[in-house]
Amino acid sequence: MTHPHKKLRPSGGYRSTASFQASTLIYDATVWFCEKFADSRSRTVDQMVQAARSGRQNIAEGSRAAGTSSQTELRLVNVARASLEELLLDYEDYLRHRRLPQWAAVRAQCQAQQHW
């Protein structure tokens, strides 16, 4: 039996999701970080801000697309994930080029000192 009036999955409502809220914080923090610590003429700054924006925007677009196409939703969420991974690599590059420790290394060092 076919269902000509099949209900669409709920879509939208993304603003209350943890992923959208986290991506908004990441975007805002990236803009702040780049304004404060990076050379505004650098191509990397543009790439970092764009990657953060893309992560946020694709979560929103994927959520809106969920009602009509779960395939499109998944594709857009994967684009968001890839954009945020690219941003993470840019932050790691920033630290490495300046010979600054990553958080995990600093945390491990602090834990080792606590055992003394």
Those residues with Cβ within 8 angstroms of residue 61's Cβ, 6 or more apart along the chain or in another chain: 76
Residue 2, pLDDT score? 57
Tokens standing for residue 115? 């055992």
Sign of CA dihedral 70, 76, 80, 82: positive
Lookup result for tokens 């990441």: 26
Residue 12, pLDDT score? 74
Q: Answer whether 110's CB lies under 8 Å from 95's CB.
A: no
Which residue intervals of 6-42 are DSSP H helices?
A: 18-37
Would you kindly state where each structural domain of the chain is located, as residue ranges?
14-114
Q: What is the pLDDT along the chain (116 residues), one digit of tens a residue?
A: 555 665 555 777 899 999 999 999 999 999 999 999 999 999 999 999 999 999 999 999 999 998 899 999 999 999 999 999 999 999 999 999 999 998 876 667 666 666 65
Residue 93, pLDDT score? 96
State the fold for domain 14-114: de novo design (two linked rop proteins) (1.20.1440)
